[in-house]
Structure 1
Amino acid sequence: MGSEVSKQIQRRKAVSMEKQMLFDLNENCGETFPGCDYRPTDRKNWMASLGPKDLHINNIVWPGTHNSATDRIGIPCISRPFAQCQTLSVYQQLALGTRVLDIRINENNRVCHGILLTYNIDVVINDVKKFLFKTTSEVIILEIRTEYGHRDPPEFEDYLEEKLSMYLIHQDDYVFGKTIAELLPKRIICVWKPRNSPQPKPGSPFCSAEYLKDNWIDTDLPSTKFDSNLKYLSDQAPVSSRYFFYRVENTVTAQPDNPVVCVRPVTGRIHGYARLFINRCFAEGCANRLQVFSTDFIGEDFVDACVGLTHARVHGEC
Structure 2
Amino acid sequence: MGAQVSKQVERIKSVTTEKKALCELQRSRGCDFPGCDYHCPDRKNWMAGLNPEKLTIDQIVWPGTHDSATNKIGIPCISRPFAQCQSLSIYRQLVKGTRVLDVRVQEDRRVCHGILKTYSVDVVIKDVKRFLSETQSEIIILEIRTEFGQQDPPDFDKFLVDELGDYLIHQDDRVFRKTVAELLPKRIICVWKPRKSPEPKAGSPLWSAGYLKDNWVDTDLPSTKFESNLTHLSKQPPSSSRKFFYRVENTVTPQADNPVLCVKPVTGRIHGYARLFITQCFPRDCADRLQIFSTDFIDDDFVDVCAGLTHARVEGKA
TM > 0.5 between the two? yes
Three-state SS of the structure 2 residue aligned to 1:132 is: helix
How far, CA to CA, are the matches of 1:11 and 1:48 in structure 2? 46
Matches within 5 A, 1:1-318: 1-318=1-318
How far, CA to CA, are the matches of 2:164 and 2:198 in structure 1? 20
How far, CA to CA, are the matches of 2:223 and 2:291 in structure 1? 21
Deviation at 1:299, TM superposition (A): 0.1
Three-state SS of the structure 2 residue aligned to 1:240 is: coil
Deviation at 1:102, TM superposition (A): 0.2
How far, CA to CA, are the matches of 2:161 and 2:208 in structure 1? 15
Q: How many residues align?
A: 318
Deviation at 1:40, TM superposition (A): 1.2
Give the letter aligned to residue 74 of structure 2: G
| CA offsets 1:213-257 (integer angstroms, 9 cap, x no match) | 000000000000000000000000001100000000000010001
| CA offsets 1:277-302 (integer angstroms, 9 cap, x no match) | 00000111100000000000000000
Three-state SS of the structure 1 residue aligned to 2:254 is: coil
Deviation at 1:114, TM superposition (A): 0.2
How far, CA to CA, are the matches of 1:283 and 1:313 in structure 2? 17
Three-state SS of the structure 2 residue aligned to 1:241 is: coil
How far, CA to CA, are the matches of 1:260 and 1:47 in structure 2? 38
Give the letter aligned to residue 27 of structure 1: R
Give the letter aligned to residue 65 of structure 1: T
How far, CA to CA, are the matches of 1:47 and 1:269 in structure 2? 29
How far, CA to CA, are the matches of 1:94 and 1:220 in structure 2? 27
How far, CA to CA, are the matches of 1:38 and 1:17 in structure 2? 32
How far, CA to CA, are the matches of 1:316 and 1:92 in structure 2? 31
How far, CA to CA, are the matches of 2:55 and 2:151 in structure 1? 38
Give the letter aligned to residue 19 of structure 2: K
Deviation at 1:198, TM superposition (A): 1.2
How far, CA to CA, are the matches of 1:300 and 1:179 in structure 2? 25
How far, CA to CA, are the matches of 1:166 and 1:275 in structure 2? 36
| CA offsets 1:136-176 (integer angstroms, 9 cap, x no match) | 00000000000001000000011111100000001100000
How far, CA to CA, are the matches of 2:105 and 2:30 in structure 1? 39
Give the letter aligned to residue 29 of structure 1: R
The TM-score with structure 1 as length reference comes to 1.00
How far, CA to CA, are the matches of 2:49 and 2:5 in structure 1? 55
Deviation at 1:86, TM superposition (A): 0.2
How far, CA to CA, are the matches of 2:195 and 2:15 in structure 1? 34
How far, CA to CA, are the matches of 2:5 and 2:39 in structure 1? 48
How far, CA to CA, are the matches of 1:102 and 1:41 in structure 2? 26
Three-state SS of the structure 2 residue aligned to 1:40 is: coil
How far, CA to CA, are the matches of 1:210 and 1:290 in structure 2? 17
Which 4+ runs in 1 deviate beyond 3 A? none
Deviation at 1:194, TM superposition (A): 0.2
How far, CA to CA, are the matches of 2:144 and 2:111 in structure 1? 10
Deviation at 1:201, TM superposition (A): 0.5
Unaligned runs of 5+ in 2: none
